[in-house]
Amino acid sequence: MTHYYYKCFDCDSEFPAEKIEDNQIYLCPECGESKKNTPLKGVLLIKYDTDFIKQNISRSGLLGKRIGRFWEYPYLWPLKINKGKFSKISESVYNKLILLEDPLLTNNYKGIEVDFWDETRNPTYSFKDRASSLVAIKAIELGVNEIAAASTGNAGSSLAGICSRLGLKSKLIVPKNIPREKLNQIMAYGAETFLVDGDYDQAYDLCLELSEKYNWLNRNTAYNPLTIEGKKSAAIDMFIRYKGKLPDFIVVPVGDGVIISGIYKGFSDLLQLGWIEKIPMLIAVQAEGSNALVRYLETDQFKFESANTIADSICAGAPRNLYMASKAVKETNGFPIGVKDEDILIAQKEFAQNYGVLAEPAAAASFAGLKLGLDKGLIDKNWKGLLLITGTGLKDSASIKKWINEITPKSEEKIKRSLLNI
Amino acid sequence: MTHYYYKCFDCDSEFPAEKIEDNQIYLCPECGESKKNTPLKGVLLIKYDTDFIKQNISRSGLLGKRIGRFWEYPYLWPLKINKGKFSKISESVYNKLILLEDPLLTNNYKGIEVDFWDETRNPTYSFKDRASSLVAIKAIELGVNEIAAASTGNAGSSLAGICSRLGLKSKLIVPKNIPREKLNQIMAYGAETFLVDGDYDQAYDLCLELSEKYNWLNRNTAYNPLTIEGKKSAAIDMFIRYKGKLPDFIVVPVGDGVIISGIYKGFSDLLQLGWIEKIPMLIAVQAEGSNALVRYLETDQFKFESANTIADSICAGAPRNLYMASKAVKETNGFPIGVKDEDILIAQKEFAQNYGVLAEPAAAASFAGLKLGLDKGLIDKNWKGLLLITGTGLKDSASIKKWINEITPKSEEKIKRSLLNI
């Protein structure tokens, strides 16, 4: 008996954990479907025995936990529990996975309280380490040594880095338009890397095919339910960091929709446990050139449009987790908002110059979304907010070069004279 | 009355804190000298009233402190104390400076216990945040709004980022050979950046001249004694992390010699307090093409040779803090070791692929030094060691490209066939 089971997001069918995990099933056996240029159908959610959780940990017990080490309270995760510890997995593994322990930067913008949640200082410098860590722990638990994923960047470098830390092998299927710095990082960690002469969609499908054939554990985002569950850890960490008093709204950059789904899932679990009264309003920011969720929430219909934005990490024509992301926004009385690429770059500059936080464009989109939400009157100035910063600008120097000044070497004399003229 | 004073490393003259700080004095007023292509003379050290420290904090009290927040025990730092808190400085400032709270990655190499100390996940992704933070706090204390530094990269991006976080202005004088990614980062944070048509030495001297003229606080490494004192925080953090039981040796990459001096200073303070019995052996790693300390320890003489190595962060023909670094090595029964650039690149690859840590070449030098030290029999296999990882490989993609494979996009068919052939 395990303390959790799997439930289909779409058809509500329920499955015991063993059936799903032992057979390496990912999507719902009843209705699951992965089709090109289409959101996934039958994404599985993990449901817990809340009595079991409460027998093992209390609200105040959880609030006393350390951030960035979700495995220290295993009852909230789809992992085997052995006398309060995970089986098979040693402390030395966890030591290598510790996320940033205080991602909260208290800040304000034009007098409004808006904190930043900095995920750029995780082990491989992005939010994706949350999902990779949980998937990797599960792989060790299952005795699987090889994990594969399709990725446009951060998820891939995260999986590669986490696998390298734990002595697992990673296989990355990446599209040819992957930003070079992220490809470098993936290859640096020693992942077996397959650069597909095609787009992310092709890489995604090829990865599913190869994973099945070669028995690799698959970490494709949304497809593997543990990617959602791993990202849920951010919500739990926020609960701990805010001592249970959550902000009014959280701005989340949305591409495939898995981060926002994971955060929603975490708060939903807390709500179900009766440990919070309300989930913060989730504001989904998308680039205007990649706004499938914005359009879906307006029209209640998905229509594929190829995506194009400078914010590569949220560039997704067919968000794999569209339906769950949509629910996350609606159920929390949030809203979606589309921002222009030029406003993302301005936000990136302001993040760096006014707050000392170097964000990649997708991460800076959260700030652009805040500003537009305020301008449009969608965000009340009395609310308290949190902006999610999902990846570092160090991985995207091309975007930074678009707004820093040109600079050429000058003689000492010229420098001295330039200062006199000020 | 303050609980600390300044003492010249070379001539032993002592000065009250007020005399040095209120007059913005940096080098020893008696013997201090900054000359081109020469190590600094008259670097000042900060000495504490150990009774005062012991009245305010005990050994076990210090061991109970959190890592990465040195300001939480002000007695060990050259800062004003006001009822146990710093004056003038608010909690919200400190919140923006928190360093990585668990930099220790327990590891081993060929069966030997060698932990890694990961400083790449600090606020601006390098060790230099330790020095920049202390200097910036001091600037706020003194009511100074502008801080200047000469830098080849990490110190500059650190100062720029920390200043941006705290609402201070930074002025960076950088040489024309600065790696582009680090220049981007400096400019991204909004530093006023002066690119000198010259080398680091020229930038260093120009920065001194301009700082004096325009009344900027100067953060040139070693020149400002707080750079050494800030870096000392790593030693205190190690003491806390290891619960007082320090490893036998610590491998430190050495350029200007300020990091190793700071670590030595921290352990010396602990030794003087009677809180440790022995300082770990400090092993100074240099690139063969920039080995002034190696040569100085062999010959007891400094001779300038222009430096050249792929590890830009430890490239220094005239290490500013040569004499203090030399003492750190000698007094701890350590040794200096020079490693080849190609071995640094191999170490960088192994760090990433075997341990999932992306280090820049200067940081990877510590691993190369360990390997060479073992090969030469200078390091005993029964010793326990610590490798300092000072900066992230994300800031130096050129070095990574030297050892990852070339990769070109392939069709799905070709990828499938390539897998069959394995």
- Say which of A194, A210, A412 has its CB closest to residue B206: A412
Contact B408 A195 (CB under 8 A): yes
Helix, strand or coil, per DSSP, at residue A186: helix
Question: pLDDT tens for residues A328-378?
Answer: 999 999 999 999 999 999 999 999 999 999 999 999 999 999 999 999 999
Please tell me the distance from the alpha carbon of residue A301 to that of residue B344, in angstroms, as a whole number: 55
Contact A415 B206 (CB under 8 A): yes
Question: Domain locations in chain B?
Answer: 104-123+227-400
Residue with tokens 């707050």: A355
What is the residue-level pLDDT of chain B in tens, covering all 422 positions? 689 999 999 999 999 999 999 999 999 999 999 999 999 999 999 999 999 999 999 999 999 999 999 999 999 999 988 765 555 677 888 999 999 999 999 999 999 999 999 999 999 999 999 999 999 999 999 999 999 999 989 999 999 999 999 999 999 999 998 999 999 999 999 999 999 999 988 999 999 999 999 999 999 999 999 999 999 999 999 999 999 999 999 999 999 999 999 999 999 999 999 999 999 999 999 999 999 999 999 999 999 999 999 999 999 999 999 999 999 999 999 999 999 999 999 999 999 999 999 999 999 999 999 999 999 999 999 999 999 999 999 999 999 999 999 999 999 999 999 998 75
Distance from CA of B76 to the nearest CA of A (A): 23
Please tell me the distance from the alpha carbon of residue A64 to that of residue A240, in angstroms, as a whole number: 7
Residues in chain B: 422
- Say which of A125, A194, A352 has its CB closest to residue B189: A352
Contact B412 A193 (CB under 8 A): no
Distance from CA of A108 to the nearest CA of B (A): 11
| Helix or strand (DSSP H, E) at B70 | none
Under 8 Å between Cβ of B83 and A82: no
Tokens of B220: 């040139």
Residue B159 is predicted with a pLDDT of: 98
Please tell me the distance from the alpha carbon of residue A393 to that of residue B388, in angstroms, as a whole number: 24
| Helix or strand (DSSP H, E) at B338 | strand B336-339
Radius of gyration over alpha carbons of chain A, in Å? 21
Neighbours of A302 (CB within 10 A): 18
Given this structure, which CATH class describes domain A104-123+227-400?
A: alpha beta
Question: Which residues does chain A have within 8 Å of residue B124's beta carbon, measured at their own beta carbons?
Answer: 356, 358
Please tell me the distance from the alpha carbon of residue B224 to that of residue B238, in angstroms, as a whole number: 23
Residue B161's contacts (CB-CB under 8 Å, 6 or more residues apart) are A352, A356, A358, B123, B124, B129, B132, B185, B189
Residue B229's contacts (CB-CB under 8 Å, 6 or more residues apart) are B46, B77, B78, B134, B262, B265
The DSSP symbol for B372 reads H
Please tell me the distance from the alpha carbon of residue B16 to that of residue B1, in angstroms, as a whole number: 9
- The model's pTM is 0.96
Residue with tokens 């992230």: B392
Torsion of CA A319, A322, A326, A329, to 10 degrees: -40
Rounded to 5°, angle at Cα A6 from A277 and A208? 120
Please tell me the distance from the alpha carbon of residue A152 to that of residue A164, in angstroms, as a whole number: 19
Mutate to test the interface with A, among B184, B416, B421 (most CBs of A within 10 A): B184
Helix, strand or coil, per DSSP, at residue A303: coil
Contact B188 A92 (CB under 8 A): no
Interface predicted TM-score (ipTM) of this complex, two decimals: 0.95
- Strands of B97-218 (E only): list them: 104-105, 108-109, 112-118, 146-150, 169-175, 192-196, 217-218
Nearest Cα to Cα of residue B292 among B11, B27, B40: B40
Please tell me the distance from the alpha carbon of residue A198 to that of residue A244, in angstroms, as a whole number: 45
Tokens of B116: 């890694």
Distance from CA of A312 to the nearest CA of B (A): 18
Please tell me the distance from the alpha carbon of residue B95 to that of residue A180, in angstroms, as a whole number: 33
Question: Which residues does chain B have within 8 Å of residue A121's beta carbon, measured at their own beta carbons?
Answer: 100, 121-123, 125
The DSSP symbol for B23 reads T
- Say which of A122, A125, A410 has its CB closest to residue B394: A125
In order, the DSSP letters of B177-188 are TS-HHHHHHHHH
Contact A412 B202 (CB under 8 A): yes
Are β-strands A249-253 and A281-287 bridged in parallel, bridged antiparallel, or unpaired? Answer: parallel
Question: Which residues does chain B have within 8 Å of residue A408's beta carbon, measured at their own beta carbons?
Answer: 195
The DSSP symbol for A256 reads S
Tokens of B6: 């300044």
